[in-house]
Amino acid sequence: MAWGIGMLEVAGLNTYYGYSHILHGVSLKVPRGQVVALLGRNGVGKTTLVHTIVSFAKPTTGKILLNGQDITGHPTHEIVRRGIALVPQGRRVFRSLTVTENLTIPLRCSLGEESTIEPWKIETVFETFPTLRARREQRAGNLSGGEQQMLAMGRALVRGPQVLLLDEPSEGLAPMIVEEISKVIGQLAMIGMSVLLVEQNFRMALNLANNIFVMSRGQIVHESSPESLDNNEEIKSRYLGM
Ligand SMILES: Nc1ncnc2c1ncn2[C@@H]1O[C@H](COP(=O)(O)OP(=O)(O)OP(=O)(O)O)[C@@H](O)[C@H]1O
Ligand SMILES: [Mg+2]
């Protein structure tokens, strides 16, 4: 297995919101060019994990390693500059700005000298999501949910990340759009991007992931290949409500 550029590893993370202990010793690895899915019901701590990775929340113990380098507790802008990009749950595009403006804003924030990553051209985003090209002068607030998801992904991609964190990208989208987005995620992995896919859409995770982690109450309770999880009725019923 390749453990080169783009490997993300978290080990023993504990994260609190105030006195609420949310993450209890979470460990997982996302190898280069792989899609790793994180499944779990509402409120188990999936978003807290991705927020901890990009330093929106600080872990009390544990480590976050990018390509073997410790980035735990580093400021978010530095983590982004090093090549980790988050596509947040609920998309959070700038609704009053156009598609093009949404895509140029991240490029205006200088990547800085320390950056080891190559930003994407907006044209490459439009090649990836042709729908966005057709809508480029429209305000993001007028786009459909699927188009907003594509835009949210495009906004992360213009930074040329090595590691992409996707927080429930399929939430509220029609199956056809989920398929379209899945295809792109598969292509991103093929060009070497490492993807942590947080999902509640079991089928999507099954189709895309090389490896799947299941979370319950802030803990990883299962790790396996998609095939083996699909055959594990106990884990599916206990932790995924299937
Ligand atoms: N800012 C916050 N302050 C306090 N508690 C929070 C905060 N954000 C989340 N929580 C709590 O932390 C727990 C985990 O929430 P989190 O959003 O990480 O779950 P999730 O797995 O992403 O859920 P969902 O599938 O609904 O997005 C929940 O009990 C939630 O109420
Ligand atoms: Mg969430």
The predicted-structure confidence for 40-52, as pLDDT tens digits, reads as follows 999 999 999 999 9
Which atom of ligand 1 is nearest the CA belonging to 57? 1
Question: Domain of 83?
Answer: 31-41+78-240
pLDDT given at position 3: 45
CB of 43 within 6 A of ligand 1: the answer is yes
CB of 17 within 6 A of ligand 1: the answer is yes
pLDDT given at position 153: 97
Point out the least confidently predicted range of 20-24, 67-71, 105-109, 215-219.
105-109
Token digits of residue 240? 């995924």
The Cα 236–Cα 224 span in angstroms is 12
CATH number of the domain within which 172 lies: 3.40.50.300
Token digits of residue 38? 């994180």
Instruction: Provide CB contacts within 8 A for 142, sequence distance 6+.
Output: none
CB of 45 within 6 A of ligand 1: the answer is yes
Q: Is residue 69 part of a domain?
A: no
Residue 116, phi then psi, degrees to nearest 5: -105, 10
Ligand 1, residues 13, 44, 213: which to mutate, most atoms within 8 A of Cβ? 44
Number of domain units in the chain: 1
Residue having the nearest C-alpha atom to atom 31 of ligand 1: 43
Q: How far is CA 19 from CA 22, 24, 56, 59, in A?
A: 9, 13, 17, 13
Average the pLDDT over 111-129 and give the result.
Answer: 77
The model's pLDDT over 182-219, given as tens digits with 9 standing for 90+, comes to 999 999 999 999 999 999 999 999 999 999 999 999 99
Which one-letter amino acid corresponds to residue 233?
E
Which atom of ligand 1 is nearest the CA belonging to 89? 27
Instruction: Provide CB contacts within 8 A for 197, sequence distance 6+.
Output: 35, 36, 37, 38, 166, 169, 185, 204, 205, 208, 209
Q: Is residue 73 part of a domain?
A: no
Token digits of residue 215? 């979370």
pLDDT given at position 116: 56
Q: Is residue 211 part of a domain?
A: yes
Q: Is residue 47 part of a domain?
A: no
CB of 89 within 6 A of ligand 1: the answer is yes
Sign of torsion, CA 222 206 6 163?
A: negative
Token digits of residue 158? 């213009």
Q: Is residue 224 part of a domain?
A: yes
Place of tokens 């453990």: 3
Residue having the nearest C-alpha atom to atom 25 of ligand 1: 42
How many angstroms is it from 114 CA to the middle of ligand 2?
Answer: 31
Q: Is residue 48 part of a domain?
A: no
How many angstroms is it from 167 CA to the middle of ligand 1?
Answer: 13
- Is the confidence at residue 1, as pLDDT, over 50? no
Q: Is residue 146 part of a domain?
A: yes
- Is the confidence at residue 111, as pLDDT, over 60? no
pLDDT given at position 119: 78
Point out the least confidently predicted range of 17-26, 110-119, 121-130.
110-119
Give, in degrees to the nearest 5, the angle at Cα 165 between 198 and 114: 165
Q: Is residue 231 part of a domain?
A: yes
CB of 47 within 6 A of ligand 1: the answer is yes
- Is the separation of the CB atoms in 52 and 13 below 8 Å? yes
How many angstroms is it from 52 CA to the middle of ligand 2?
Answer: 12
